[in-house]
């Protein structure tokens, strides 16, 4: 049976959960990680979201992916490859941790820039964040057990926000 899409109101505990998940990752990676960013909807205060933390581990270049992958494996992370999205490597989280998504991105990755600009734009523009929350709630009801349809239906709004954010940064 397909997993149900559940969107919940913003939880003020998400930042501390991110920190709890980030700490062992930062410890095992040491200087391999230039930064570990809280991204995705749970990183935007007040935004309704699926209760799953998204983390981007930033590395200097693709040359550091292998070493990062080996270090993360010691914590139980399983490398899944880029899953068709260039500029980020996806990992399954260890079974003994709260459910979360972890990605490793080179610092010059378009995907990292997209994640950060989307997050930062929604933080600055609460009206756009509220509109996005309403859209996600509507789509979660409409496509409750069809994750791909849910994702596809919100992609136009995400793209529009990302383009505005990148434009504001002078990146496009």
pLDDT in tens, the chain (172 residues): 668 999 999 999 999 999 999 999 999 999 999 999 999 999 999 999 999 999 999 999 999 999 999 999 999 999 999 999 999 999 999 999 999 999 999 999 999 999 999 999 999 999 999 999 999 999 999 999 999 999 999 999 999 999 999 888 776 5
Classify residue 2 as left (phi > 0), alpha (psi -120 to 50) or beta. Answer: beta
Instruction: Name the pTM for this structure.
Output: 0.93
């Amino acid at each position: 049976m397909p997993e149900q899409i559940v969107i919940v109101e913003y939880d003020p505990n998400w930042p501390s959960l991110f920190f709890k998940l980030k700490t062992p990752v930062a410890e095992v990676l040491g200087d391999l990680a230039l930064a570990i960013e809280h991204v995705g909807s749970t990183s935007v205060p007040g935004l309704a979201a699926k209760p799953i933390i998204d983390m981007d581990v930033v590395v200097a270049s693709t040359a550091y992916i292998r070493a990062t992958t080996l270090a993360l494996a010691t914590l139980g992370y399983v490398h899944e490859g880029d899953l068709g999205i260039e500029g980020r490597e996806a990992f399954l989280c260890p079974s003994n941790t709260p459910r979360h998504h972890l990605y490793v991105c080179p610092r010059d990755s378009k995907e990292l820039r997209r994640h950060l600009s989307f997050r930062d734009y929604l933080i600055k523009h609460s009206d756009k964040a509220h509109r996005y929350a309403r859209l996600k709630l509507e789509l979660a009801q409409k496509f409750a057990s069809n994750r791909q349809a849910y994702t596809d239906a919100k992609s136009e709004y995400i793209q529009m926000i990302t383009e505005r954010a990148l434009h504001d940064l002078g990146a496009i």
